[in-house]
Structure 1
Amino acid sequence: MPRSLAAFALSCLAAGPALAAPGGINVDAQPLADALNQLAAETGFVIIANAPDLSARQAPRIAGAGDVEEALTLLLEGSGLRYKSRTKGVWVIEADAPATARSAPLTTKPVAPLRLPPLQDSLRIFDPVVVTGSRTLPLFSESMAPIEVLPGQEIMAPASDDVIDILAHLVPSFTAQRLPLSDGNVYVRPSRLRNLAPDHTLVLINGKRRHKSALLGPEGAQAPDLAQIPAGAIQRIEILKDGASAQYGADAIAGIINIITRDEAGIDIFTQHSQYQDGDGEQYRLGIAWGAEMHRARWRITGEYSHAAPTSRARQREDALAWQQEHPEVALRNPVQRWGQPEREDIRSLMNFAYVRDNGGEIYAQGSYNQGAGLSDFNWRHPETASLYGPTDAFEDFSLADVYPNGFTPQFGQDYRDGALLSGYRNAGDRLDFDISAGFGRNRIDYFLFDTINASMGPESPTAFNTGSLQQTEYTVNADLRQSLAWSLPLSLAYGTEYRREIYTIRAGDPASYAIGAGAVDGLTSGSNGFPGYTPLQAGDFDQESHAVYADFESNLTPRLKLGMAARYEDYSGFGEAITGKVSARYALGNGAALRATVSTGFRPPTPGQIFGERTSQGVSALTLDVFTQGRFSPTGPVAAILNARPDVSIAPLRPEMSENLSAGIIFSPADKLFLSLDAYQIEIDDRFTLSDIYALTPVERARLTALGVPGGESITEVTFFQNDFRTRTQGLDLMAQFSHSVSNGEVSIKASYTYNTIKVLNGSLQDNPVRLRRFEEFLPAHSAQTTASFDHGPWRLEGRVRLSGAWSDYADDENLSLQRFGAKAFADIAISYALTDQWRLRIGAENLFNTYPDEAGLQKSKGLIYSRNAPYDTDGGLLYVRLSWADGKQP
């Protein structure tokens, strides 16, 4: 994105004002921008200014200035500029008369784009520059929409290596689920902002769109996998909690998560060991980062490795207990299936590069490459399951009991590769800033199974299968421009264009993974049991293109009133055109208080994966404990045509979702180091799509599926489709408070956040099913909160956090006829760290210190489940960890 606001900060804030050197402050005669850089470096203050305001000006030499105010007075004398302090340690340079200042003679040497200052610990509650939501780079307190900023130190505080878990720990309006035994969702986990769908939040890396995962999650959401970003590579995360489709494009209905990566020089290394209080889930992490500057180039490379053992929060299944009692000579595993996190191994890396040319322009690149694997249990298959062990005349002298005499637990795994590369050129000129970039991203997931069988093939079946792969590929090209116009009012205008192409690829599995063997005529299930492979009929490449143009302007209409407007036109192949818009305003009340409000529209078209992706899976009924096969199929495919032959069924092609967003709030900073904000919002989404009602198939329809070659078609009992089905209204409040105070030669910092969120279904088929309707509306907590407090004293740092998750509901029985209400839970975290030397730091901590668990679940209790797989938080209990880190500079 264009950047005209240059942030000059070459060192971090100290707890109090920096003191002048014994000889006073001395700055050489040079261009004003360079002089302010030098002053920031000497004093430790953050100095912010508009690049066009500085580009035509020279600064005199000053010698012996007593403090920063005296130095600024001397540097700005006669320049038409003035300085003021936004908050302690931050100075802002601005024009006395903006229109006059912009008419000054222009320098022939453009000012190079300058990097934003890292948000160090002492800046956590101050007033950082934000790059999300506005193309004029305002201060945090001057944003027209609610933004939450998470500095790198807060991001590295939790023990998890997964950015999804980190955000769920730190941001109450962000929720994540574990979803054990949920096929690919156990590896690519869904996460939600403001309790909307995962793909209602746009993810950016340094302001550039991140590619999606190949997996379609619950209810069909296809979103980027935040777990692919190494936490140690992050400088800060900016979360825009407001609709921004008109500014950034489709998907930004709930808001934006913009990850700003580190680019400073130096070497950092850390190692960590963690384990749950129940004794499992042991994890080892290792991270290393190297950044350097040479001549005009700078780069930083970060790599992390993680290996996590599985967890299990399960009891022995009821049918396994009965089998064990009947066969005491058998050594049956207890439990026969694990409900918990999978075993995982991950390697993640991220790279930044920049080169500044003679004219001040910058060539830049960013890339990432990740790979890993995971392994998880499926449901145990009882040795008397009729669809597996039943009699057949198709095979002579063969019985599955000879292969798996005590039943079997299929092992389901994935191998993944994820990579992205983006490069571009940007320049901050006298009147025009531009940024041109092109990027590529790909996520590929290969699925495999072992310790299973294709029962219909009998003795010819292997016990291990490659079941196929999913792949998401995206290409983007952007041109973004911004300029300041010398009209009667100061006006910042941004405009640009974007081209995107995404390709969704399904690759077929081994033939044995979808084969329908001779035993199928006697009721033996076909396909690799647990996860039948993708067939050639389902395989293929499916693509979609889009073109967009946008315009965005902001202006200070009066000294108190700031107004912003944005409009975006998008044209999607297959869905046609859409125009979205946004209007934002901020009014300063004085004494550190301001009102802000936005109104916007949004647009999110279905992806090729959501239109054409299909999946067949097998499970075990919690009532009969028999294996069943179900499928989710394309609403435009042949299976939908079979169902549409019914007179009362209409499976329609997918349409784009449309949204309307309203927000209004107040921000208040009554004192130094104290900041408060309260924002209310409403989001309505029309043509929202989800899984359709479940359709039970007739024998005739199953025969037609078999004729199509659908894996397990002869045994599929239920099918579903993605459909545009209903309109929802989400309403809520976000409250945030930040405070810091010096105590006993140390610094106490407190941050508290609270979120209230409700969702109502306004129309659609859900209203015909009261239980399903209530479950949808109560599936996630309406109340969430967290409070974090830290105390810094010399080399010591003590941190504590309390997280509150409100009550929520889930199905209570396998037939979805009733609901279970789960009560609110509070979790306490604590950590202490000590700087052993200037380079070494030791951190010891506990998350969920009191080993708190949710209420036990009734659903699938017969299969050994203790806690709901859909819980909006980790259900593995307390976690203990120790981390040792080294940096070639002083530890923060």
Structure 2
Amino acid sequence: MRILLLAGAAAAALTYPSFAQTQSEADTSAAARDDIIVVTGTRREGRTALDSLAPVDVISGVALDSVVSDELMDSLAVLNPAFSIQRLPMADGAIFIRPARLRSLSPDQTLVLVNGKRRHRAALLGSRGAQSTDMAALPAFAVSRVEVLRDGASAQYGSDAIAGVINVILDETVGLRAFAQASQYYEGDGEEYQIGAQLGFELGDGGFATATLEHVTAERTSRSRQRPDAIAFEQATGIQVADPVQNWGQPEREVVRFAMNAAAPITDFVEGYSHATFTQGQGVSDFNWRNPAFTSAYGTSPLDPAYDLNAIFPAGFSPQFGSEDQDYEVVAGLRGDLGFGLSWDFSASRGRNEVDYFIYNTINASLGSQSPTSFSAGVLAQQETNFNLDFVYGWAVDAFAAPVNVAFGLEAREETYEIEAGDEASYAVGPLAVDGLPSGSNGFPGYSDLQEGSFSQDSYAGYVDLEAPVTERLTLAAALRFEDFSEFGSTTDYKLSGRYELTEALAVRATTSTGFRAPTPGQLQSERTSQGLDSTTLNLVTSGRFSPVGPVADIINARANGPEITALDAETSQNYSLGLTYQHASGFTLTADLYQIDVDDRFSTLGSFTLTDAERTQLAALGVPGGESITRVSFFQNQFDTRTRGLDLVASYGFDLGEGAVTLTGAYNYNETEVTGEAASGVFNDVSRTVFEQGLPQHNAVLSADYALGRYSVNARARYYGEWTDTDDSANVIYQDFGAEVFVDLGLRVELTENFAMRVGAENIFDTYPDESRRQANRGLIYSRNAPYDTDGGKYYLRLEANF
């Protein structure tokens, strides 16, 4: 990689042909904030980000390409300080479908659209039961721009839009373009190779079609030290163990992504359109190392004298956990104009996310010598079908400065959550369980035949959305939406917005709205057992999460004292924002927005309830897999209320410097969340409250400078992450405050010929690492697994681009 980069830099210095310049980072940064028409948060044509009634960030495809990661949400997190994402190594499925947050709210409180159409959720139920969209399934090379609406929008778009909306706009460019990129961390690991191509052509008279294909392979990273107990085991037994015995880092993975986007006129008044995406990938990661000295799976039983785990894994074992995932979405529709100012749009979509878990280099100890060492652990799937009928009418009102934009429509949606059982051996309770040998595939017990099933929910909605230019300076807007869900009932939400131009350069804007997030079928009905490692004792703990309306909930409700487990209801919100926009003739622009988001009845995992022997006997009698060894049970519940307050600042300034052009941009987000209420069960102890309120930085900022001169362009970017706090979840809680960090990225792009360009550079160019973590250090962890940034150090890259 170093040789490639040196050769690339030499080629850039020696290349001299002139080039018909394509759009540079500097060009698109300025355009994104000033002139691009936005379609998110408004149904009125002609709105730009600066004159919108609520804050909208526009991130160009060129800016996305400047970030090394192949995953779209990583690019958004680098470029937008209000958006954050974590790596979460050894966090089961969350290492592959990672949680992303807008304004530090729950991942499933941000609605994701593609070309303005609702995107389906992923099958994974993450932290606190969050079920969000897997944005990594979208090919970043197919994206023209991303619009981020930083405002509550449930009254406009329905469930999930409490924090805001992310609208991914696919490319419509005619022509052929391609890229190849290689990157590697300074440490010499994490090699990643990306290749992609996009073909766009004209379709019919005024139509277009584009097709994009990406392929990515990435190797693991490891920022680990040898576990102290592994060193002690090797010294005591003389058996050599791997160093380290487990890797904390990014998983090994391979993925193929495809996207199609098309539209073409059918008649003079009707246009057909469609877009589709398809992604298929696989990833593998380490789990915690099992020490033969005290792991219960190494026990023996007179029922199976042939069983000897020391003969299979004499040096212990670290289960290898992976997933094969498949994601697709197809959207098709017709739109047109009825000829008297009324336009219409009818669309249908089907999306599905499927995750097939597997685990190997492990054992189901309760099966003894009959156990395999690799297992299919089960399949999760989320499927959604949407129908939308939307109308927009320009209503001329003499008293107003321009026609009132009247939008109204209907929506019907069906979502289904499916669980398919894994291999029987992955969840079986074998005969050796009576002697204390753990059941299920060690590390990730498979989904059982009792847990599998298909759970559905239907919903229907109607809305009306008005936007009125009352005067040349004053615009007011109102939206109202009614939505009814088969599983919990109905909700009605509103939004009121206004914008007033104090001068031609300065304007104020404000919004107030209500919002909601409906519980999903997976949250309502699915159940799961899992294994973890106590950070103090290093003993395995088996836990179960069960349906709040199932028989296990009845067991807990039968206790004389304690909280009542109830059915889930929707999370609800009240949003407020107040902001200003400023645009100077010199090219300087500024937006500043204050916001407050009150969210009630937020989901949490209630528990864990420690079971008695009698209750474990009841679980076993119900046929719960591994019921005899489950230590704790928990349930998703509406448990607490929060208040989030913050400030967003976005500024840009473009000017000429010599024969080149400079664009300076800056974005800052201050975000503070406070738990304002909780259920009588007291779900938030001091540890939970600290993690929730202080587990992410309150201050984040991105500063960038782009300079374009002829065929050269340079991009420099500084990313600031403020202080945050992590804790250890063991019996002896450790609080650790992590200091602020600054990471600097630098890239040089050279247009080699009329059709070819090269980019070379590095992210975290100074190889900055955060504070080392005391949390779970006895497991070999160096940096916190919950860090809101990459903890793998500097990464350099070389990218070649072609455009025809």
Would you call these one fold, judging by a TM-score over 0.5?
A: yes
Relative to structure 2, which stretch is displaced further, 847-856 or 464-473? 847-856
Pairwise mapping of residues 485-564 of structure 1 onto structure 2 (< 5 A)?
485-488=395-398, 489=400, 490-564=403-477
**Which of 671, 685, 690 is the matching residue for 1:769?**
685
| 1:210–1:816 Cα change, 3 Å | farther
Q: What per-residue deviation string (whole Å, max 9, x for no partner) do you get for residues 504-533 of structure 1?
A: 000011111111111101110000101111
Q: Which moved more, 1:222-231 or 1:765-774?
A: 765-774
| 1:694 aligned counterpart, secondary structure | strand
Is 1:879–2:795 an aligned residue pair? yes
Letter of the aligned partner of 1:776 in structure 2? F
| Pair 1:315 & 2:228 matched | no
CA distance in 1, matches of 2:379, 2:256: 20
Partner of 1:600: 513
User: Which residue of the partner structure matches residue 187 of structure 1?
Assistant: 96
Aligned residue pairs: how many?
772
| Contact 1:831-1:844 within 8 A present in 2 as well | yes
- Equivalent pair of 2:34/2:48 in contact (CA under 8 Å): no
The aligned counterpart of 1:298 is 208
Offset at 1:767?
Answer: 7.5
Unaligned runs of 5+ in 2: 1-21
CA contact (8 A) 1:727 1:762 kept: yes
The match for 2:617 among 703, 718, 721 is: 703
| Structure 1 CA distance for aligned equivalents of residues 554 and 429 of structure 2 | 22
Deviations 1:186-212 (A, max 9, x none): 000000000000010000000000000
Residue in structure 1 matched with residue 768 of structure 2 by the alignment: 852
User: TM-score with structure 1 length normalisation?
Assistant: 0.85
**Residue identity matched to 1:202:** L
Paired residue secondary structure (2:628)? coil
Q: Deviations over 1:615-662 (max 9, x none)?
A: 211122221122221122211122212111112231111111110000
Q: Is the 8 A contact 1:772 1:816 kept in 2?
A: no
Retained in 2: the 8 A contact 1:771–1:816?
A: no
- Which whole-Å CA distance do the structure 2 matches of 1:510 and 1:294 have between them? 48
In 2 relative to 1, CA 807–849 (structure 1 residues): closer, same or farther, beyond 3 Å? same
Distance 1:767 1:774 in 2: 13
Q: Identify if the C-alpha distance between structure 1 residues 372 and 851 changes in structure 2 by more than 3 Å, giving closer, same or farther.
A: same
User: Which residue of structure 1 lines up, in the alignment, with residue 11 of structure 2?
Assistant: none
Q: Which amino acid aligns with 2:79?
A: L
Partners of 1:300 and 1:353 within 8 A in 2? yes
Q: What are the within-5 Å matches in structure 2 for residues 305-454 of structure 1?
A: 305-328=215-238, 330-428=239-337, 429-454=339-364
Contact kept, 8 Å, 2:300 with 2:307, in 1: the verdict is: no
Q: Residue 381 of structure 2 corresponds to which residue in structure 1?
A: 471
> Could you give the per-residue CA deviations for residues 591-634 of structure 1, whole angstroms, max 9, x where no partner exists?
31000000000011100011112221112222112222112221
Q: Provide the residue aligned with 2:57 in structure 1.
A: 148
SS state at 1:153 partner: helix
Q: Distance in 2 between the 1:360 and 1:119 partners?
A: 35
Say which SS state the counterpart of residue 799 (structure 1) adopts: strand
Partners of 1:680 and 1:654 in 2: CA distance? 32
Q: CA deviation at 1:406?
A: 1.3
| Greater alpha carbon shift after TM alignment, 386-395 vs 196-205 | 386-395
Q: Matched residue of 1:124: which SS?
A: helix
- Rate the CA distance shift 1:767–1:355 in 2: closer, same or farther, 3 A: closer
Report deviation, 1:399. 1.2
- Report the aligned-residue RMSD: 1.5
CA contact under 8 A between 2:367 and 2:439: conserved in structure 1? yes
* Counterpart contact for 1:775–1:819, Cα < 8 Å: no
- Contact 2:57–2:147 under 8 Å retained in 1: yes
- Which of residues 573, 585, 590 in structure 2 aligns to 1:671? 585
Q: Deviations over 1:727-779 (max 9, x none)?
A: 11000000110110000110000110111000111111557622321221111
Cα deviation for residue 473 of structure 1 reads: 0.4
**Higher RCO (CA < 8 A, seq sep 6+):** 2
1:128 alignment partner AA: I
| Worse-matched range after superposition: 678-687 or 625-634 | 625-634
Shift of 1:121: 5.9
Q: What CA deviation, in whole Å up to 9, does each residue of 1:461-509 have, x standing for no partner?
A: 1111101110000000000000111222321100000000000000011
Letter of the 2:451 counterpart: Q
The one-letter code of the counterpart of 1:517 is G
Contact 1:212/1:225 (CA < 8 Å) preserved in 2?
yes
Task: Report the identity percentage.
Answer: 48
What is the rounded CA distance, in whole Å, between the counterparts of 1:322 and 1:419 in structure 2?
A: 49
For residues 45-64 of structure 1, the aligned pairs below 5 Å read none
- TM-score scaled to structure 2, two decimals? 0.94
Of 351-360 and 673-682, deviating more is 351-360
> In 2, distance between residues paired with 1:768 and 1:160?
36
Q: Which 10-residue stretch deviates more, 617-626 or 557-566? A: 617-626
Give 1:397 shift: 3.0
Which one-letter code corresponds to 1:808 in the other structure? W
Hey, what's the Cα distance between the residues in 2 that align with 1:219 and 1:823?
26
Q: Tell me the alpha carbon deviations over residues 825-868 of structure 1, each in whole angstroms, 9 at most, x when there is no partner.
A: 11000000100001100000100111111111111111101111
TM superposition shift of 1:274: 0.4
SS of the residue corresponding to residue 93 of structure 2 reads helix
* Contact 1:481 1:495 (8 Å CA) reproduced: yes
Asked if 1:127 corresponds to 2:40, the answer is no
1:158 partnered with 2:74? no
Distance in 1 of aligned mates of 2:172 and 2:66: 20
* TM-aligned CA deviation for residue 813 of structure 1: 5.0
Q: Give the Å deviation of 1:393.
A: 1.3
Look up the match of 1:105: none
Q: Which amino acid counterpart does residue 129 of structure 1 have in structure 2?
A: I
Please say if residues 410 and 463 of structure 2, whose CA atoms lie closer than 8 Å, have aligned partners that are also in contact.
Answer: yes
Query: Aligned partners of 2:256 and 2:343: how far apart in 1?
Result: 37
746, 750, 753: which one pairs with 1:837? Answer: 753
Separation in 1, partners of 2:27, 2:419:
42
Aligned mates of 1:286, 1:541 — CA distance in 2: 37
Selected match of 1:805 from 713, 721, 725: 721
CA contact (8 A) 1:771 1:818 kept: no
1:760 paired with 2:669, answer no
Q: Aligned pair 1:577/2:490, yes or no?
A: yes
CA distance in 1, matches of 2:102, 2:132: 12
Residue in 2 that maps onto 1:640 = 553
1:450 alignment partner AA = Y
Contact 2:346 2:389 in 1 (8 A): yes
Q: Is the 8 A contact 2:542 2:630 kept in 1?
A: yes
2-structure distance, mates of 1:215, 1:707: 29
Picking from 143, 146, 153, the partner of 1:237 is 146
Match of 2:193 in 1: 284
Match of 2:523 in 1: 610
Residue 184 of structure 2 aligns with an amino acid whose one-letter code is Q
* Preserved CA contact (<8 Å) 1:761 1:767: no
CA shift, 1:384, in A, is 2.1
SS of 1:611's partner is helix
The 3-state SS of whatever aligns with 2:689 is helix
1:363/1:245 Cα in 2 relative to 1: closer, same or farther (>3 Å)?
same
Moved over 3 A (4+): 118-122, 765-768
2-structure distance, mates of 1:486, 1:718: 64
Partner residue, 2:661: 747
Aligned equivalents of 1:258, 1:588: Cα separation in 2: 27
Q: 1:738 is matched by which residue type in structure 2?
A: S
Q: Equivalent residue for 2:6?
A: none
- Measured after TM superposition, the shift of residue 575 of structure 1 is 1.3
Which residue number in structure 1 is paired with residue 159 of structure 2?
A: 250
User: 5+ residue gaps in structure 1?
Assistant: 1-43, 46-117
Alignment partner, residue 64 of structure 1: none
Deviation at 1:164, TM superposition (A): 1.2
Q: Deviations over 1:420-467 (max 9, x none)?
A: 101000114441111100000000000001110000000111111101
Cα distance between partner residues in 1 of 2:376 and 2:683: 41
The alpha-carbon deviation at position 706 of structure 1 amounts to 2.0
Matched, 1:815 2:731: yes
Equivalent residue letter for 1:789: A
How has the CA–CA distance of structure 1 residues 768 and 173 changed in structure 2, closer, same or farther, with 3 Å as cutoff? closer
In 1: Cα distance, 2:133 partner to 2:629 partner: 34
